[in-house]
């Protein structure tokens, strides 16, 4: 591992505060007012503007009480990575909210020390996972002189397909490791065999994607399973955590884990706010330890203040505002209580399945329950819109207990088994 990955101790930074509706509204409108005003200022050099007023009504009275909608209309462009320093000054007001959002995610959720990370609000978990692989590929090429055929992306069989997409885009090998069918844990024997085979085939550098709750099963990888195997085989690697689903769930369930910046082997993490946080689609978070964004910083973006080191480039500042508003509405304690309520609903489903001798998988502390497809009727699957692992040949179907899955809906689902 590179020398940059030092142990980060968990800290209670208390960045994440619960705010009143009025405090949130005041903060967002103040930030918007500190951005450039395309109408009132003599701005003629920026290749952007507010939303088209002929299509998007901008004088509605309710907008004075709607900070997020106002931010959409004012259309701030958060191009670049603001944790690196210089950024476009036209949108400094709302960029400050993005920086605070990243502090909450990195420090209060992922246990990073202050100012030890870089990152940005991405378009979602897929982009954030690709961003990580892009950075590590470039690191291996620039620092180790690696050829693309000497680098591979490695993950479990349950991993989200974005890891395969990243490998395809970056012209890298893509390798899946088997998991136990019942426990969803990484098959250590198959992992060892895979690493031996890869070394023989000339793979020298690995980008490992570990899961903090998979999309289908809610399963969680043991980071040390990867670390022990990789060190035993003397492999060069980085470990990226895909917390696109679990990043806003698992840290609040009370289970211990090594899938954040408190673990010295974790270099980057993906979060996805348009799942459990219920932010608008197109809202994710990418975070990485300091010292790595430079490997994708684009010097050709010379017209952008601070250049650009993100995959997406131009992006809406309203997405960062949406995350900040939601998290600030709850505060850390309120969010913890919300997540634990959803987990208990999932636990209630699991207990009922036990009473009917129906086979299922549920990770401890997860709000996902994956049920063996052959143990549940097609009528129940269709009536409650359960999602299969494979639409053509389903082995599992899943229940995902989100906020809209009320106790009443759970009751109706459980009555269907009688």
pLDDT digits (tens, 9 = 90+) for 342-400: 999 999 999 999 999 999 999 999 999 999 999 999 999 999 999 999 999 999 999 99
| Sequence-ordered list of residues with C-beta below 8 angstroms from that of 395, at least 6 positions apart, any chain | 372, 373, 388, 389
Q: Is the pLDDT of residue 1 over 90?
A: no
Strand partners, 288: 118, 268
Question: Stretch 4-25: mean pLDDT, rounded?
Answer: 68
Q: Domains of the chain (ranges plus CATH)? A: 82-329 (3.40.640.10), 332-415 (3.90.1150.10)
pLDDT recorded at residue 303: 64
Whether the CB-CB separation of 408 and 402 falls below 8 Å is answered with no
Strand partners, 243: 271
Q: What is the mean pLDDT of the chain?
A: 93
Question: Stretch 21-44: mean pLDDT, rounded?
Answer: 93
Q: How many Cβ atoms from other residues are within 10 Å of residue 58's Cβ?
A: 15
Question: Stretch 286-306: mean pLDDT, rounded?
Answer: 86
Q: Which residue has the higher pLDDT, 410 or 38?
A: 410
Phi and psi (nearest 5°) for 151? -120, 140
pLDDT digits (tens, 9 = 90+) for 179-215: 999 999 999 999 999 999 999 999 999 999 999 999 9
pLDDT digits (tens, 9 = 90+) for 93-143: 999 999 999 999 999 999 999 999 999 999 999 999 999 999 999 999 999
Question: Stretch 80-90: mean pLDDT, rounded?
Answer: 90
Q: Is the pLDDT of residue 284 over 60?
A: yes
User: Could you write out the three-class secondary structure of 273-308?
Assistant: CCCCCCCCCCCEEEEEECCCHHHHCECCCCCCCCCE
Question: Stretch 249-261: mean pLDDT, rounded?
Answer: 94
pLDDT recorded at residue 301: 66
Under the banding of pLDDT at 50, 70 and 90, the label for residue 320 is very high
pLDDT recorded at residue 45: 84
Q: Over pLDDT 90: what percentage of the chain?
A: 86
Under the banding of pLDDT at 50, 70 and 90, the label for residue 39 is confident
pLDDT recorded at residue 299: 75
pLDDT recorded at residue 33: 95
Under the banding of pLDDT at 50, 70 and 90, the label for residue 41 is confident
Q: Is the pLDDT of residue 69 over 50?
A: yes
**Residue (of 236, 214, 211, 215) closest to 225 by Cα position:** 211
Q: Is the pLDDT of residue 6 over 70?
A: no
**Residue (of 345, 315, 348, 336) closest to 405 by Cα position:** 345
Question: Stretch 28-42: mean pLDDT, rounded?
Answer: 93
β-pairing verdict for 387-388 and 151-156: unpaired
Q: Is the pLDDT of residue 7 over 80?
A: no
């Amino acid at each position: 591992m590179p020398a940059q990955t030092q142990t980060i101790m968990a800290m209670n930074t208390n960045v994440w505060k619960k705010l009143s509706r009025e405090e949130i509204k005041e903060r967002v409108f103040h930030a918007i007012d500190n951005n450039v005003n395309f109408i009132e200022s003599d701005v003629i050099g920026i290749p952007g503007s507010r939303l088209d007023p002929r299509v998007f009504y901008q004088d509605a009275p309710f907008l004075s009480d709607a900070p997020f909608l106002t931010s959409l209309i004012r259309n701030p462009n958060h191009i670049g990575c603001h944790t690196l320093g210089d950024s476009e000054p036209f949108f400094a007001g709302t960029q400050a909210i993005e920086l605070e959002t990243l502090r909450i995610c990195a420090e209060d959720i992922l246990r990073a020390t202050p100012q030890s990370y870089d990152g940005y609000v991405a378009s979602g978990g897929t982009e954030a996972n690709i961003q990580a692989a892009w950075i590590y590929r470039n690191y291996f090429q620039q620092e180790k002189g690696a050829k693309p055929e000497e680098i591979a992306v490695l993950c479990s069989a349950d991993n989200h397909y974005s890891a395969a997409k990243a490998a395809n885009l970056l012209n890298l090998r893509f390798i899946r490791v088997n998991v136990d069918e019942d426990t969803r844990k990484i098959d250590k024997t198959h992992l060892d065999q895979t690493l031996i085979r890869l070394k023989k085939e000339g793979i020298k550098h690995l980008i490992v994607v570990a899961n903090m709750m998979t999309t289908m099963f809610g399963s969680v990888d043991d980071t040390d399973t990867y670390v022990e195997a990789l060190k035993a085989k003397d492999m060069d690697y980085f470990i990226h955590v895909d917390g696109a689903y679990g990043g806003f769930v698992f840290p609040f369930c009370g289970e211990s884990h090594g899938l954040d910046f408190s673990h010295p082997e974790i270099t980057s993490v993906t979060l996805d706010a348009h799942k459990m946080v219920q932010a608008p689609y197109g809202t994710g978070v990418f975070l990485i330890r300091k010292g790595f964004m430079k490997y994708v910083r684009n010097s050709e973006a010379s017209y952008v203040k601070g250049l650009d080191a993100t995959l997406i480039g131009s992006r809406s500042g309203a997405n960062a505002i949406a995350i900040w508003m939601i998290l600030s509405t709850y505060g850390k304690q309120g969010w913890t209580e919300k997540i634990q309520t959803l987990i208990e609903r999932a636990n209630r489903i699991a207990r009922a399945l036990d009473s009917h001798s129906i086979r299922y998988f549920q990770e401890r502390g997860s709000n996902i329950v994956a049920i063996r497809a052959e143990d549940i009727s097609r009528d129940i699957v269709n009536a409650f819109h359960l999602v299969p692992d494979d639409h053509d040949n389903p082995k599992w179907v899943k229940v995902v207990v989100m906020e809209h899955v009320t106790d009443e809906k759970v009751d109706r689902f459980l009555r269907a088994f009688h």
